[in-house]
Structure 1
Amino acid sequence: MPSNYAISQFAKSRSIKGAIMGDTRSIHGFLVLAFLILLTAKFSHSADTLFPGQSIKDGGKLVSASQTFELGFFSPGSSRNRYVGIWYYKLSTKTVVWVANRESPVFDASGYLTIDGEGNLIILDGIGRSITIASNSGRTNLTVAALTDAGNLVLKEWSGGREGRVLWQSFDHPTDTLIPGMKMGLVGKENRILTSWRSSEDPAEGDFSVGIDPNGTRQFIIWRRRDVYWKSGVWNGMNFSSIPEMTRDYYIGFSYSPNWNGSSFSYSLNDSSKPVRTVMDVSGKIRQLAWVETSQEWVQFWAGPTNYSCEIPTSCGVNGLCNNYTSPACSCPYGFEPTSHVAWNSGDWSGGCVRREKLECGNGNGFTEMKRIKLPIFFSDTGVLSMDIDDCKAKCLLNCTCTAYASAHGNGTGCLLWFGDLLGLQDHYDGAQDLYVRLAASELNHAADNGSKRELWIIVVPTVAAVMLLLGVFLCYLRRRRLYLKAKNASSHELQLLETGTNGAVAYKASEALKDGGGQKAPDCTLFSFPTIAAATNNFSASNKLGEGGFGPVYKGMLEGHELAVKRLSRSSGQGLVEFKNEIALIANLQHRNLVRLLGYCIEGEEKLLIYEYMPNKSLDSYIFDPTKKAELDWTKRFHIIEGIAQGLLYLHKYSRVRVIHRDLKASNILLDSEMNPKISDFGMARIFGRNESQANTKRVVGTYGYMSPEYAMEGLFSEKSDVFSFGVLLLEILSGRKITSFRCQDKSPNLLGYAWELWIEKNILELMDPLLHDACHSEEFSRYIQVALLCVQGIAADRPTMSDVVCMLSNESISLQAPKRPIFSVGRTPDAAYMPADRREECTVNSLSVTALAGR
C-alpha cells in the first residue's frame, strides 16, 4: 500500500498547468494519483494521521507516534452500540479517555471515520447517517486529523503537503476524563467541564458534571442535574481547601504540577510515561487514578466527595450547619430555625433553615460571628475584593441583600460577600475560616459586639449563671416530683417501668449510658397520645397495614401532612416491654442517615406503639429475593445499599454517642427510602457496650439463624464482630440474590456460606453472581466484594475485620485483601446430592431452622 508521503511527493511532481496544456503524462499521473487515493481509502491503517480520502473502518485505528494512545471504534461493557473513542494503547485494560459520538452511537459495525469534501471530520454508518465530530472552521476544504502523543485528536489545515494551523481539537471538548495537558474551566469562550457517563455501558451525558466555579473562585464544583452537589474549596496555590491532603507529592511516586491560567486549571507530570487520569464517574465522585505497572491495574489515590454527609453541601439544606462529628449532623445557626420542624425531627434536613426574624434594610442589622466554619458555596460574582475585613463589613452592611461576609485569605485581607441563602456551611472543618452572618437587630446581643460593655459581662455572667443554677435545681425538683406522681398514679405498671427506668436492668443501663459528659440525660423522643396515632392510621385500618414482624403489625399513618410508620406491639408477640424500652432508649438517641429515625412512641393501657419515619420502598428482602423486583437493583444501586449499611454499622460501633451492637442485622431489618437509601432498623435486640468493653456473654441468645455468628449461636458470646459476621452474610445475599436460610441440596452445600466458599476455592466465584448483574457488573469488583464478605464470616471472631476496615476495603480498591479462612457454618450436614437417587434430588431448605430467636422475644 503506498504511503502518504509517496502520494504527496507524486502530487508535487505533476503540475496542474501541464495537465491544462494537454500534457498526457500529467493527466496519466493524476489518474494514477486518484487511483492511489481511492486505494488507500479502502484500507484501515495504524498511522497517527487521517488524510483526505482515507477512512478508518470499524476495526481500524489511529495510533499516536509514540504508541501512547489509540483511536478507534469500541463498545462499552456488553453494549452492542459502537463509539469512536481514544484510549491508552499499551495498557492491558482498555481505558477510554474521550468519546467522539457519546450521544449518537452507531448501532452496528458498519461505521467508519472519514473527512468529507468540506474538510469536516465525520462518522458515516451503514444507513447513510452522518455524525459530525469536528467542523472545519477554516477557509480551506483540505484538512487532516491527527492523534498526538498527549491523547489529543486534532483537525488541522493541510496545504502543500504540510500541516497548518489547528482548526479543532478534542482537548477543547472533554467528556468524562481529564488527562495531563487538558484544561478545565473557561478557555476563551469555551467552558470545559467533565460530565459523567450515563452508565458503565452508555457514555451519553449522565447526571453529574464537574468544572471550575464560573464565579471565578478558583475551585471545582460538582453539579447534579445543574444543582450544586459538592465543592473542592478554594485553591490556595498548593491545594484545594477541601482537599488538604493534596500536595506536590500528592501523586505517590509522581511529581505533580498544577497550573492556573486565568479561569482554567490543568496539571502535568514530569514523568509522562506513568499514566494518570481524573474521572467524573457515574456515582457522582471525582476519582483520581494512576496506572501501576507491576500489578497492571489502575489504583485510586483520591476520590471526592467522601462518604461523610457534610461533603455534600445540600445535606443540611440552605442556611443549615453540618457537622460530621455530632448527632444529628445538621443544626440551624444562631438566629435561624428549621423550615419544617416535623421534617427536621424526622431526619429530613433537606429543607434547611430560615431566619427567625426577617432582615429589614436600615433597621439596625448587624453580624454574628461563626468561628471556624467551612465557607458557603455562593458569593459575589465580583470575586475577591481588595479590602480589609472592616471595609468588607461596611460594604456588606450598605447592601441590603448582602447576608454574610468573610476574609478572602483568612488573615483579615481580601473580602468575600454572600447574597441570599447560605449553602454548604460546615462546622469542625480543617482549613475553615470565620464567617460573619447578618442578623436582624432583635436577634443580636449587642453586648457581645460592643467592647465598651465588656465590664458589664463580668457582673451579668456570674449573676445569670447563679440564677440559672437555682432555676435548674428548682426545675429538676419539679420534674422528679412530676415523674413520681405520674408513676404513682399510672394504671399500668409497664408505664412506670418505661418512665422511671429503675425497675428494669436494661432500661437502667440504657438510661445511664445515654447521659452525656455533663451528666444530663439525652433528650427523650416525643410521646404521642393513642387517639392521635389511631386517627393518623385510620383507626389501624387493614388498608393501612404495611406488614407484620416479630414485634407486631406495622401501619402507615399521616400526621400533619407527613407519612409515618407505626409499629403496634401484638399481645401474642414474643417481644415485650424490655424490647420496647430498649428500642426507645437506643434509637431515639442515634441519628445517622443510614439508621431509621424514631419519631416517638405511645404507651396507653395495653397499647404500646413505636412511630418511625415512613420508608416507601419497604425492606431490602422484598427486593433482593423477589424475582421481579430485584431487577430494579442494578450494580450501582446494590453497591450504594452495601455502602450505606456499612456506614450505618460503622456509626453504631465507633461514632455514635454510645457503642451499640445490633445483634439482629438481616435483610428484613434494612429499610429503603424513596431514593433506595438503606436504613438499619429494629433495635429491640441491640445492646450497649462500654468504650472499653470488647465482648459480652448472654444466656438469652436472640437473632436469626444464618445471620448469627458461631460464637454467639453456640456460646452466647457477642461483640462488634458478631455484627460484622451478619454484615458478611448480608453482603453475600445482596450480591448473589439468594437467601442464606434456603438452599438446594443438589448444590452440595448446606447454605450460602458453604456454596460461596466452595466457589472461592475453585476460583469460580463469578458463578455466585446474581444473573441480573452479569451484563453490568465488573468481575474484578464482584470478586473483591465477595472476598470482603468471606473475610467477614470467618469462624474465629478475631480474624474478622472491623467495620472501619470493611468500609476502607469497599471504598478503596488500592488496599490489598488477605485470603479468607473457611467459615465454620460452611461444613455440610446433608448427604451429597451426587450420591442421592435421582427421584430424591429435590429442592430442600433449612427454613425449619430459621427462627427469630432461641429464647422468647
Structure 2
Amino acid sequence: MELFGKMGRLPAALLSLFFILTSRISPSIVGDTLTPTQPLADGQELISTGKRFALGFFSPIKTNNRYVGIWYKISPPTVVWVANRQHPISKCNGSLSITANGTLIITDQNSKTIWSSGSSGLANPVAQLLDDGNFIVKEANAPVSFAWQSSDYPSDTLLPGMKLGWNLKSGLNRNVTSWTSPSDPAPGPYTMGVDLHGNPQIILWEGSSQLWRVGPWNGKILTGIPDILHYKIFILDFVIKNDEVFYMYNTTSTSFITRLTVNYTGFVQRLVWLDDSKMWSSYMSEPKDQCDYVSQCGAYGVCNTNDSPMCSCLQGFKPRSPTNWDLRDWRDGCKRMTKLDCRNGTDGFVMMKNVKLPDTSRSTVDRRMGLNECRATCLRNCSCMAYASADINGTGCIIWTTELTDIRVYSFGGQDLNVRLAVADLGPGLHHSHSHTMVGILVGSVLGILLFASVGICVWIQRRRRRGAIPFASRRNNECKEGKDWELPLFDLGTIIAATNNFSIENKLGRGGFGTVYKGKLGEEQEIAVKRLSKTSAQGTDEFMNEVTLIAKLQHRNLVRLLGCCTQEEEKMLVYEYMPNKSLDAFLFDKDKAVLLDWQTRYNIIEGIAQGLLYLHRDSRLRIIHRDLKASNILLDKDMNPKISDFGLARIFRGDETMLLNTQRVVGTYGYMSPEYAMYGAFSVKSDVFSFGVLVLEIISGKKNGRDFISEHEENLLAHAWGLWTEGNGLELVDESLNNSISMTEALNFIKIGLLCVQESPKDRPKMSSVVLMLGSKNASLPDPKHPKFFPTRTSSEIKSSKSKTDSSYRMHSISRIRRRVSSDGVNS
C-alpha cells in the first residue's frame, strides 16, 4: 500500500487496522484438504493438522496483487512459499482448485487459469497441507506416496526436511530464489542451489555470476561455513547418490520454528522464531564478510579477514601484478615463483590447515581412494595443482588440475589442503631428499642469526631514540608502516601531486575537520580521493595514525576502502577509493538532490549503514566504536551504496557490548552525540547506535537534526519525531520528496527503529545485531520506544542567534558548554 501525499493525520488505531486489512489473510478455515468438489476461494485458508502452517490468498506489503501462498501460522504470519510468483491476480476473486486428474490450478475473477501444477494422472486426487509446510497432491486413500509436492518447487525459503538440489532421474533441480522486493515475490536476482560440476557444492548466484560459494561437504560440515559446528539445534546432511544430490537440514526438536531464506538483498539467512519477543532471530547470515565473496584474491590467492591486507599469495607464489596488488586490487591473483619439475619427481606439497577448499567445480573426485594414494596420483599427474580428502575422516580424493581459486583461511574449522610446489619453494623438512633438508636447516640457521641480530639493532635504535640521539623526523616517512601486523602502501609525494594536478582547485572535492579532500587519478583508470591534513586542523597526528591503524585492518563492503597514505616531508595524507556520489548529506539536505533518493535507495542506505556498524561492533577483527557517525561521513558509490568513512575518532573496545568507557576529551559532532557521551564522556557501542538512530530519522525526514528546527517547541529532529509519534502521526515525518514511492508499513517501522536507537538510556537501545534483524523483518512486532533525551535545551535567544552562524561554529559553541567528567580507567581518547 502506498503512502499518498495528502493522507493527513490518521489516528494510530486506524492506521493499525489499515495495515491489517492490506495483508488480507482471512481466518475463514476449510480444514487441511482440498478436493475436486471443494475449491479454495480468496478469503478462505487451509490449516495443517498441528496448526503450524496455513495456505491461502495474501497480498504483500505495498500492493493489492493477490497470491496463493503458505505461511507460518504465527503472529505476524511469515510467507514461506508462493505458487503464482510471476502471475498475480489483480482482484480478490481468485480461486485455487484441484481437477479430477490431480492438477492444481489458480484462476482469476474471469475464471482464466493463471497458474497450474501440471497433470498428476490420479484417479481420486486430493491436495493436503502437511504440518511440515509441504502441500502435496496424492490419491485420497494413499497415506504416504504423492504425485506432486510444493517442496519440489521452493520459493525463497527452505524449511526443515526440504531438499535443495537435484533428482538426477527426472532432472528436477530444486533452487531457492529471492523475491524481487518485499512487495513482489517474483523470482529476484539471487538464487541458491547445488552445482553438480566436479565435487558438488552449494552456490549463491547473482544472475549468472557466483556471489558466494558455500564450499563442498566433507562428511561433517560445508567447508565454507565452519560455524556450522556450533549449530546445536540443527541436523545437517548432504547426500550424493547416483540418482540424486541434495542438501537438507532438520532440527533436534519439532518445537523449533525456523527457516533458511535467500532475501531480496542477496543474503542467505538462517532464522529462528523467538516466541517471547514475537520476532525472527538471525542464527546465521551469509556472506558475512568480504572474504566470503567469490575469489576476492584471484587465482592462487588466499583471503584471511584476520590479516591486513586480507589477501596474500600461497606459499611458493607471488603477485601476478605487484602494482595492482599494492593498490589492493587482487583480481589478477598470483603466479608461481618456480616452475614444477614433474619429470624428475622432485615436487612436493605444503599443507594449508583450516581452509575453505578451492572451487571444486573443475576438480575430479574419487570417493574410494585413500589420502596416500591420492597424493601419489597427484604427483604422477603433471597437471595436478593440489589434492585434499573428500571426507574429513581421510577417505576420498579431490584433485585440482586447474588454477586454485576462492581459497580462504579460518581461525577454526575448514579443512586441510595440500598444494603442489617446486622443491625450491618448499620449506625446511618438506623436501624429498636428505641433502635438501640439510640445506634448509643451514639456511634456517643463518636466517635465525640474522633475525636475532636485527632484533638487537632495533632495540638499540629504540633506546637511542628515547635518548634523543635519533631525531623524530628520520622516522616520519614510515608512519604508514609502523604497525606490527598491518601495512599500507606508502605513496610518494610526487605521485600524489601528479594525481591531483598539484592539489588544484578543480580537483577539490570538499573540506572537513581533517582538512581538504581532493580527487585524483593514478595511471589511466584508478580514481582516488586524497584527504590532506591541514596544518591548522584540530585533528592532528594522533587522529591520522588512528585512522591508518584501524581502517587498514577493516574489510567490509559498507566501509570505505583505504588504499594507502603519504607522510613525506610535512605532509600527512590518506588515499581512499573515490566515491563519485560524495557524501550522503550532499543529497539528503539539498531539496533539489533529495528527489534522487527514492524510498528504495534510502532503505538500502539505512540497511547498508547498519551492516557496516554491525561489522565494526561484532564481526571485525578489532571491534570498533566509530564515535563520529553522521551523514557527511557516509559516502556513496556509483550505485548509491553507503560506505562508512572517517575513522580518526574511532576507538577499539574490548569487553561486552554494554561496557562503558570514559574519556577526558569529548569529540564528535553535535546532533549525533549520545547524551551520556556528550555530558559525561562515557561511550560504548550504544553511542554509535544513538548516532545511527539520528541518521535513520534524518534519512526518512530529509531534515538535519538541530539545523532545521528553530521554533521554541521543536528544538531538534528527535523532539519533532517523538511528538509526531506519540500523537499517532509518525507518517508526517516522511520527506515530502518521496511522494508516493514509500511504503507506510516500512516507513513507520523504520521511524520506530530510529526512536528505539535514540532512547535516553544506553541499556534500552538495541544492539546493532538486533537493529539489522528489525530492519530485515518486515512483519516484526517491535517494542515501544521510550522518551529520548533532548539536550542541550536552547533558549529562544540562542535559537535566533544561531540562525546567523554556520553549523560548525554552532557545534563548537554548544560542545564547549557541555559538562565533562574524567574517569580513572585510563582509556586514551
Give the corresponding residue for 1:324: 305
CA contact (8 A) 1:685 1:703 kept: yes
* Residues 295-374 of structure 1 mapped to structure 2, 5 A cutoff: 295=277, 297-300=278-281, 302-305=283-286, 307-357=288-338, 362=343, 365-374=347-356
Cα drift, residue 77 of structure 1: 1.1
RMSD value, Cα = 4.9
CA contact (8 A) 2:164 2:175 kept: yes
Identify the structure with bigger relative contact order (alpha carbons < 8 Å, sequence gap 6+).
2
Q: TM-score, normalised by structure 1?
A: 0.74
* Residues 635-654 of structure 1 mapped to structure 2, 5 A cutoff: 636-647=603-614, 649-650=616-617
Cα drift, residue 401 of structure 1: 3.3
Give the corresponding residue for 1:378: 360
Choose 556-565 or 301-310, whichever is displaced more: 301-310
Q: Residues 846, 278 of structure 1: CA spacing in aligned structure 2 closer, same or farther, 3 A cutoff?
A: farther
Q: Residues 770, 94 of structure 1: CA spacing in aligned structure 2 closer, same or farther, 3 A cutoff?
A: farther
Q: Residues 407, 50 of structure 1: CA spacing in aligned structure 2 closer, same or farther, 3 A cutoff?
A: closer
- Of the candidates 563, 571, 581, which is equivalent to residue 617 of structure 1? 581
CA contact (8 A) 1:379 1:419 kept: no
Give the corresponding residue for 2:563: 599
- Of the candidates 754, 758, 765, which is equivalent to residue 790 of structure 1? 758
Cα drift, residue 403 of structure 1: 1.7
Cα drift, residue 185 of structure 1: 1.6
Whether 2:662 is the aligned partner of 1:695: answer: yes
Give the corresponding residue for 1:97: 80
Give the corresponding residue for 1:499: 476
Give the corresponding residue for 1:184: 164
Whether 2:402 is the aligned partner of 1:426: answer: no
What SS does structure 1 have at the residue aligned with 2:378?
Answer: helix
Cα drift, residue 425 of structure 1: 2.1
CA contact (8 A) 1:396 1:405 kept: yes
What SS does structure 2 have at the residue aligned with 1:465?
Answer: helix
| C-alpha separation in 2, matches of 1:717 and 1:163 | 65
Choose 685-694 or 592-601, whichever is displaced more: 685-694
Give the corresponding residue for 2:644: 680
| C-alpha separation in 2, matches of 1:92 and 1:242 | 34
Give the corresponding residue for 1:436: 418
CA deviation profile, 1:192-238 (whole Å, cap 9, x unmatched): 12111111111111222223442585754333324333344555666
Cα drift, residue 392 of structure 1: 0.7
CA contact (8 A) 1:136 1:168 kept: no
CA deviation profile, 1:134-174 (whole Å, cap 9, x unmatched): 11153x7x77451332443344578xx99998443322212
Which AA in structure 1 matches 2:301? Answer: G
Unaligned runs of 5+ in 1: 1-43, 489-494, 502-506
What SS does structure 2 have at the residue aligned with 1:78?
Answer: coil
What SS does structure 2 have at the residue aligned with 1:402?
Answer: coil
Q: Residues 146, 271 of structure 1: CA spacing in aligned structure 2 closer, same or farther, 3 A cutoff?
A: farther
- Of the candidates 409, 413, 433, which is equivalent to residue 391 of structure 2? 409
Q: Residues 810, 99 of structure 1: CA spacing in aligned structure 2 closer, same or farther, 3 A cutoff?
A: closer
Which of the pair has more CA radius of gyration? 1
Give the corresponding residue for 1:555: 518
| C-alpha separation in 2, matches of 1:498 and 1:459 | 34
* Residues 37-76 of structure 1 mapped to structure 2, 5 A cutoff: 46=30, 48-52=32-36, 55-64=39-48, 68-76=52-60
CA contact (8 A) 1:536 1:557 kept: yes
Choose 809-818 or 372-381, whichever is displaced more: 809-818
Cα drift, residue 549 of structure 1: 3.2
- Of the candidates 765, 768, 772, which is equivalent to residue 810 of structure 1? 772
CA contact (8 A) 2:661 2:682 kept: no
Cα drift, residue 613 of structure 1: 1.7
Q: Residues 734, 330 of structure 1: CA spacing in aligned structure 2 closer, same or farther, 3 A cutoff?
A: farther
Cα drift, residue 176 of structure 1: 1.6
CA contact (8 A) 2:617 2:624 kept: no
| C-alpha separation in 2, matches of 1:615 and 1:455 | 54
Give the corresponding residue for 1:209: 191
What SS does structure 2 have at the residue aligned with 1:386?
Answer: strand
| C-alpha separation in 2, matches of 1:164 and 1:633 | 46
Q: TM-score, normalised by structure 2?
A: 0.77
Q: Residues 258, 441 of structure 1: CA spacing in aligned structure 2 closer, same or farther, 3 A cutoff?
A: closer
Q: Residues 682, 304 of structure 1: CA spacing in aligned structure 2 closer, same or farther, 3 A cutoff?
A: closer
* Residues 229-308 of structure 1 mapped to structure 2, 5 A cutoff: 229-235=211-217, 240-241=222-223, 243=225, 246=228, 250-251=232-233, 260=239, 262=241, 263-267=245-249, 275-293=257-275, 295=277, 297-300=278-281, 302-305=283-286, 307-308=288-289
Q: Residues 238, 622 of structure 1: CA spacing in aligned structure 2 closer, same or farther, 3 A cutoff?
A: same
- Of the candidates 738, 755, 769, which is equivalent to residue 720 of structure 2? 755
Cα drift, residue 332 of structure 1: 1.9
| C-alpha separation in 2, matches of 1:737 and 1:68 | 43
Cα drift, residue 602 of structure 1: 4.8
CA contact (8 A) 1:702 1:852 kept: no
| C-alpha separation in 1, matches of 2:637 and 2:514 | 21
- Of the candidates 160, 164, 173, which is equivalent to residue 153 of structure 2? 173
CA contact (8 A) 1:276 1:291 kept: yes
- Of the candidates 743, 757, 762, which is equivalent to residue 775 of structure 1? 743
Give the corresponding residue for 2:498: 535
Whether 2:609 is the aligned partner of 1:629: answer: no
Give the corresponding residue for 2:127: 146
Which AA in structure 1 matches 2:77? Answer: K
Cα drift, residue 79 of structure 1: 1.5
CA deviation profile, 1:342-388 (whole Å, cap 9, x unmatched): 44434444554444456576475442222332322316665343222
Cα drift, residue 847 of structure 1: 5.9
Q: Aligned pairs, how many? A: 763
| C-alpha separation in 1, matches of 2:145 and 2:554 | 61
CA contact (8 A) 2:547 2:646 kept: no
| C-alpha separation in 2, matches of 1:225 and 1:291 | 30
CA deviation profile, 1:250-307 (whole Å, cap 9, x unmatched): 33xxx85868474234455686576443322223333334445555x35336223263
Which AA in structure 2 matches 1:680? Answer: I
Q: Residues 568, 748 of structure 1: CA spacing in aligned structure 2 closer, same or farther, 3 A cutoff?
A: same
Q: Residues 63, 719 of structure 1: CA spacing in aligned structure 2 closer, same or farther, 3 A cutoff?
A: closer
Give the corresponding residue for 2:19: none
Give the corresponding residue for 1:396: 378
| C-alpha separation in 2, matches of 1:321 and 1:475 | 31
- Of the candidates 642, 666, 672, which is equivalent to residue 630 of structure 2? 666
| C-alpha separation in 2, matches of 1:606 and 1:475 | 25
